[in-house]
Homo-oligomer: A and B are copies of this chain.
Amino acid sequence: MNQSLNDKKYAPIGVFDSGVGGLTVAREIMRQLSLERIVYFGDTARVPYGSKSKETILRYSRQIIHFLESKGVKAIVVACNTASAYALEELRPEMRIPIIGVVKPGAKVAAQVTRNGKIGVIGTEGTIASQIYTEMIQRHNPHAIVVGKACPLFVPLVEEGWLKDPITIEVAKRYLASFQETGIDTLILGCTHYPLLRSVVRDIMGEGVELVNPAYETAQGLKRLLEECGIANDGAQPEGAPMYQFYVSDAAEKFKSFANSILPCEIKEAQLIQIEE
């Protein structure tokens, strides 16, 4: 192998999530940073993260980061809102490579696009309880009013495949009703599963409310980060290096079929590993 191809810039990006949701982030990275290789880990044995405590999410995230580092990644994307909310700030000082989450890029854009300073956030119980979006949005716009709403049934509805279903619409109406009197003009889809419910949310909220998809903004943020660190891939690839690799802690076949239904490329294998060890 050519010496220069051992450069850090040819190493893959590590991406992790509690399960399949982070694939919406991987998909954006594939679209926007098509030269970058990816090692994805989905913690399907311990999914979901949204209802679990900060301590538990921190422990799980540490295990996963060690695993991704062992695969030689050059940067890590926390493609899970709950892990970004609970673990990112605490983990960053422990790391030797850059790490970014999905919360900050989404919060930043929301703070920029709002016209009236009133922003809604939907997410898991963990993400909403952490108030992380409020904190991040107010870093950019201290006067912003942020209204959060946990939507715990959205993830199981997406995983049931009921994407444009009357029941899903009813559940969404119930959850989103809490924004009615708030006057928000911007709504963050603060969970990686939620972009798959985008059209349902769009129909209920109407054209007057801008929907922010943190997956898209995260890929943009990653692009900037790689360029700033001088580790963006310039197009060369180490011989025989796989473009995309997928690892899970459980139910590899089910993961593979979900992945193939939403990714722009066909994945051949999701490899099962024991993350607890």
User: Complex: how many Å from CA A70 to CA B262?
Assistant: 46
Residues on B with beta carbons closer than 8 Å to the beta carbon of A217: none
User: Complex: how many Å from CA A215 to CA B199?
Assistant: 41
Residues on B with beta carbons closer than 8 Å to the beta carbon of A174: 167
User: Complex: how many Å from CA A160 to CA B174?
Assistant: 13
Residues on B with beta carbons closer than 8 Å to the beta carbon of A276: 276
Contacts A152-B159, A167-B174, A170-B167: A251 and B53 contacting too (C-beta < 8 A)?
yes
**This chain: how many copies in the complex?**
2
Q: Which residue from chain B places its CB closest to the CB of A253 in the assembled complex?
A: B53
Distance in Å: Cβ of A168 to nearest Cβ of chain B:
10
User: Complex: how many Å from CA A52 to CA B250?
Assistant: 7
Distance in Å: Cβ of A38 to nearest Cβ of chain B:
24
Contacts A45-B46, A52-B45, A276-B276: A157 and B153 contacting too (C-beta < 8 A)?
yes
Interface residues on A, range: 20 to 34
Q: A56 on the interface (CB 8 Å rule)?
A: yes
Q: A176 on the interface (CB 8 Å rule)?
A: no
Residues on B with beta carbons closer than 8 Å to the beta carbon of A153: 153, 156-157, 160
- Interface pairs (15), CB distance under 8 Å: A45-B52, A46-B46, A47-B51, A51-B251, A55-B250, A56-B249, A56-B251, A152-B156, A152-B159, A152-B160, A153-B156, A155-B156, A167-B171, A170-B170, A276-B276
Q: Which 6 interchain pairs have the tightest Cβ spacing?
A: A156-B156, A56-B250, A45-B56, A52-B250, A46-B46, A53-B251
